[in-house]
Structure 1
Amino acid sequence: MNGDRLRFDLTNLADEVTPVDLRDRALRTSRRLGIQRAVATSAAVVVLLGAATGTAIALVSRSDGQTPMPADSPSITITPSPVDVIPTPSPSVEPAVPVRPPAASDDAVLPANMYWYTEEEFGEARNAPGRIWRATPDGKWKLVREGRPGSKTNSGPVAPSPDGARAAWIERSPTNRLVISRFGGGSVYTVPVKGKLTCGPRWLDSDRLLFAEGQIGRGDWTVVAVNADGTGRRVLATNQQDCPVVGAGWFGRSEARTVELRQESGKHRTVTPRIPAGLKIHSLVGIAAGGQTVVISTHVPNAGECGCTWRIRNYRVDVASGAAVELATLDPAWRKATGHGDAKQVRFLPNGEMVAQIDAASIGGDAPDHRLVRYAADGRVLGSTAVPSGNPWGELLG
């Protein structure tokens, strides 16, 4: 009887078992543990490598019906654009690096046609080109462009245009100059840069950008705007205290308790955000079209002013009134003085919401840990998603 009972119980238990897609589980494991370990996993994941070209075929996992997270993307499509893509170099010169599948975006977080830039990686282990990704209507990241803008004589980072089609950077040799080109290579335009110091280029829009020339010492920056083809040079401001922040056709700067905005047309605005006493503004993060709203990042000052121990608080500010709405922290632990949660970039949406690039790592760490967070107009977090996997250094565009 005991044997019959045991068989009966085992039969019922088998009927209740839900089949598990081992391939899907293995794919998720492979993202965490690396391709080599995934190949050795009993739930086999086959990665096909083109031996002649060194090109990897992307892996596509199936949705398990749960909320998409960075390691569990429902579907990843990597489709390089036929335009502006650098041909695969000879392995003897530069080892080919497979494109790693990016984390899926959440359609509730990222609107379509928002762009992310992944910086170029250097070194023998990884020698990946810079990449431009676009958020798609079905909530995924799509690779649309890759290239190697910049040179060995860069004096600062490469700055992609808002649509990711162009790139600009400052070169020191043979003389200081601004260089502008297509992101994937092609015609190059150069603009002479005066002064011993320069502020790296930032784009006013996809067709016009600015940079700043300066001498040694604070308070001597001259802000200059040019077209994407290097023409139309125009001085916008002189005797500026520091490098400008640019957004939606405006440029500006911040002091400890004030923000100053300018436009090429000559418009000028100054606002004193109504933030709690004791807070200090350390960066102007973004400017909305029309210059009516800005986002600032602030902190509680401490001895030595080490960013790694700042209590960071980000605010959305109405420029006309100075009214400030605090953006909720993504992690309650960031309410302590840990240097986490600094806002880096922001893009305003037509409905009053916005998407912010938030660094989940501590200021001064070895590498950032960017999250894209969608905020309501009242500062509530509506959702968050990961940026494409790969080089952690990058930024939100467009």
Structure 2
Amino acid sequence: MVKISFDVKKFEGQTIKKIGLSIKSDQAMDFKAINLGEMTLTNGQKVAPIALSDAKVTDEAFEEEGTVGGFRLSWKSDANKNNFSTYEIYQLNDDGSKEFLGAININAFFVNALKRGKNINSTKFEIVPINKAGESGHSVTTSVKWPDNSLAKAAFVADKTLVTIGEKVTLMNQSNLASVKYKWDIDGASPATSTEKNPQVSFDKAGSYSVKLTVINEKGQEDSVTQTELITVIDQPVELTNFALNQSVQVDSFTNESESGPKAVDGKLNTKWCAVGPGKHNITIDIGKSEKINQVLIDHAQKGGESPDMNTSDYTIEISKDNQNWTEVVNVKKNKLGETKDSFKQTEARYVRITATKPTQGADTAVRLYEIQVLGQKNS
């Protein structure tokens, strides 16, 4: 960064309409751009410097398994209207360099979607006050500690949980990036063990079977998760029933009567439930009585002919017998599909609640669900 001053006393009393800059170098310039910062005209009077204190990170959020973060910074300042211009925020790097993140005129700044560097465990920020003369004052620093993402964390789902004897089930690994080795233990299955990432198995006897996944990171550290009686095997195939069709629903909001909650369970792909406004949106379906359910199909915006950018990104599915005590059975993040199928352990339930925690792929907070099917085995 270079600061250059020019004496413009000889133009006193005149109106300056244009200022031109000519930049020369005694060496070949291999960069593609020159960034000009602030230009200030002063009367030569001294402007009091600004001092900052008590910088801190007041809020933080991590995504992408701790590789992307958002941070809210705040600080105290002795600036006043006579000397204040702006605050500049920088990221201080381990090699001694610093990167400009932005400028603001209040005592807070949000660092959005900051990418974590390789082998970086903490990141330091510097806040620099600039007075009306363009002079830097007493800066302050604060830092944030990144989460340890080297630990293995086991997670998985099954593509279906109600099958007949001999029918294939695919176990889909959803463990984190730190997990590099896998060991499956599947009760009653063929094969009963596997080291594949996403194994296919089948069962030769009717019953309910548990699945355990153990994952290992590069340091040999392990993590395990067991889903008890996840797979139900029956002797004869049955056609799954859609218990949600034309049933009663409750929603947190809707745009108008033509996009109300019942449109999500009317069996039509040219109607939808749509809710707008900030925050999460949810729909609760009462299927009439307790039934054995194991799968939820959702047709998102794209299935109804809208942009893929409007497909629901993050959502949860909960089930309940009494509409008061809820169990989360599905938690989806970063979905991009227009049609989703989520399977879970076959369970008796009457109510199904779907909550869109991130309704679209971007900043749009409107949820658009064209059709919801709650599938299961009808009680005899």
User: Which structure has greater helix proportion?
Assistant: 1
User: Which structure has greater strand proportion?
Assistant: 2
User: If the length of structure 1 is used for normalisation, what is the TM-score?
Assistant: 0.29
